[in-house]
A and B are shown apart, each in its own frame.
Chain A
Amino acid sequence: MGRRVVITAESAITPVGHGKKDILNSLLNGISGIKSINRPDDVLAKHIHSGVYGIVDYEIPYDFSRKFRKTMGPVSYYACQTAKEVIEQAGLANDFLSSGRLGVAFGSIQGSPSVQRNIFKAFFDPDDKGFSNINAADYLKSMMHTTAVNISRMFGITGRVLSSCTACTTAAQSIGFGYEAIKYGMQDAMICGAADEYDLTTVAVFDNLLACSTSYNDTPYLTPRPFDLNRDGLVVGEGAGAVLLEEYGSAKKRGANILAEVTGFSCTNNGGDLILPNSDGVKRTIKAGLENAQINPEDVDLISAHATATKAGDVIEAQAIFSEYGDNPYVTGLKSYVGHTMSACGVIELIFSLYMMQEKVIIPTLNLEEIDERCNMIKHSTKLIEKSVNTVSIQNFAFGGVNTCLFIKNRS
């Protein structure tokens, strides 16, 4: 038995908006954030078959001084903005930030690929200018833990630094490991999340694996289509999300606005193939998560499925959900709105789940028009449902065979 952990602030930058008002408007009205790729690069764009992307195409009012900007790539701009909004929303005192009792758990799938690309260009520079073309701060901008340490530096945070780098389970691990750090008394609060910037490298990787959506290049809003018969793969997206986790007693004492409680977390590995989805791995993760949360399957109202809209992944996930939950909880695939925001998907989907709890609605899976019969044994949400949502499980799976389940309970 450990300490209770609550969520007291959230912030997200997504292809369907920045902040609750804009995001909720898109989710409630079925507005997709998927667009045609409109920022082609000079390396990959002409080779990849997928022409769609979850794009953040609006201005973000950054207000970072040069002192901080000089070590930040685009990925850290996203991360620091969401962290800043979370700190402001929670009203954390300055002396707490540097007390050593607040930590940061934040990651990305590969640091800042746009900065890394500039470094690699130096290797192939025909003028042979060598490493003088590599800026002094390029490593700080592009390293794997760049988001976590730029947040720590900007706000003078002196507690633990965790920087998971497990592809699509990065954010879920950030939140899960942050939850455990508070639960077992190592920290009193953690800023948790992940960010990924616009980059076509990831599209190329999935494109080569024939896992990217390619049939809807002229109608991007019709893809991805989780669990739908006509789904044809995932759509990569960009974005970020951050949540503040706090120990329940201290949050209550300082009068914090408690949004939800994190009640459980599980993380497993398939112990085999690094790419193929694995039904036993997903089932084991669900079981371990329910056990950690000390709840029964029937206590879960809603599952935010990983649901990337790949041919095999959705079937494996639907069957695993049915095996552990039956057809009781509603299941929604939120990537249908924003695409697969890679490292950030777990925190963005958790924040969308918070909104559903607050608004007492279940957001349907977008583009789910004809359910694939192999996925049809679970209770899909195909239309907006007005319903109290008390307990949500957020499922994420990653290359490398990593699986996570987070459980949150409504405490508002």
Chain B
Amino acid sequence: MDRQILLEKILDVFKEEFEIIDPDPDNNLTEKYEFDSIDAIVLLEYIEKLLGSELTQEEKKQSMECRTINNIIDYIENIQKNRN
């Protein structure tokens, strides 16, 4: 999936699910938008839907390093790359 399309899909999720509209892709989501651990778990459910398959425990643990929208896009791209 193209990075721009991924970005648009993630921004849609942030708008619809988290009521965070057009966050700066490089801003710290926790500090700037009060994105917390509950939101992170919900986001993983969306990422699973996006990928069409469940994330492994190891992949979920890796997601805990994400701090920004760009981190999240990198994370998804990385999973796609490793799975291919």
Interface residues, chain A, with chain B CB atoms under 8 Å away? 65-67, 70-71, 132, 135-137, 140
Is the pair A66, B18 in contact by a Cβ cutoff of 8 Å? yes
Tell me the chain B residues, 29-50 only, with Cβ under 8 Å from chain A.
34, 38-39, 41-42, 45, 48
Q: Does B19 contact A (CB under 8 A)?
A: yes
Q: Does B59 contact A (CB under 8 A)?
A: no
Is the pair A140, B38 in contact by a Cβ cutoff of 8 Å? yes
Instruction: Report the nearest A residue to B54, measured CB to CB.
Output: A132
Is the pair B18, A132 in contact by a Cβ cutoff of 8 Å? no
Cross-chain pairs A/B with CB under 8 angstroms, 11 sampled: A65-B19, A66-B19, A67-B34, A70-B42, A71-B38, A132-B45, A132-B54, A135-B42, A136-B45, A137-B38, A140-B38
Residue in A65, A71, A135, A136 with the greatest tally of chain B CB atoms within 10 Å: A136
CB of B49 to closest CB in A, whole Å: 11
CA distance in complex: A140, B38 (Å): 10
Interface residues, chain B, with chain A CB atoms under 8 Å away? 18-19, 34, 38-39, 41-42, 45, 48, 54
B38 surroundings in chain A (CB, below 8 A)? 70-71, 136-137, 140
A132 surroundings in chain B (CB, below 8 A)? 45, 48, 54
Residue in B38, B42, B45, B48 with the greatest tally of chain A CB atoms within 10 Å: B38
B18 surroundings in chain A (CB, below 8 A)? 66
CA distance in complex: A66, B48 (Å): 22
Instruction: Report the nearest B residue to A137, measured CB to CB.
Output: B38
Is the pair A136, B41 in contact by a Cβ cutoff of 8 Å? yes
B54 surroundings in chain A (CB, below 8 A)? 132
Instruction: Report the nearest A residue to B37, measured CB to CB.
Output: A136
B41 surroundings in chain A (CB, below 8 A)? 136
A135 surroundings in chain B (CB, below 8 A)? 42
Instruction: Report the nearest B residue to A130, measured CB to CB.
Output: B54
A65 surroundings in chain B (CB, below 8 A)? 19
CA distance in complex: A400, B18 (Å): 42
Sorted nearest first, the 5 A-B pairs with minimum C-beta distance are A136-B41, A66-B19, A137-B38, A136-B38, A136-B42
CA distance in complex: A65, B45 (Å): 22
CB of B33 to closest CB in A, whole Å: 10
CB of B72 to closest CB in A, whole Å: 16
CA distance in complex: A70, B20 (Å): 14
B19 surroundings in chain A (CB, below 8 A)? 65-66
CA distance in complex: A49, B74 (Å): 57
CB of B38 to closest CB in A, whole Å: 5
CB of A204 to closest CB in B, whole Å: 32
CB of B31 to closest CB in A, whole Å: 14
CA distance in complex: A195, B23 (Å): 37
CA distance in complex: A405, B76 (Å): 59
B42 surroundings in chain A (CB, below 8 A)? 70, 135-137
B48 surroundings in chain A (CB, below 8 A)? 132
A70 surroundings in chain B (CB, below 8 A)? 38-39, 42
CA distance in complex: A65, B19 (Å): 9
CB of A135 to closest CB in B, whole Å: 7
CB of B53 to closest CB in A, whole Å: 11
Seed contacts A65-B19, A70-B39, A70-B42; 16 additional CB < 8 Å A-B pairs: A66-B18, A66-B19, A67-B34, A70-B38, A71-B38, A132-B45, A132-B48, A132-B54, A135-B42, A136-B38, A136-B41, A136-B42, A136-B45, A137-B38, A137-B42, A140-B38
Instruction: Report the nearest A residue to B35, measured CB to CB.
Output: A67
CA distance in complex: A135, B48 (Å): 14
CA distance in complex: A136, B18 (Å): 14
CB of A250 to closest CB in B, whole Å: 33
Instruction: Report the nearest B residue to A129, measured CB to CB.
Output: B54
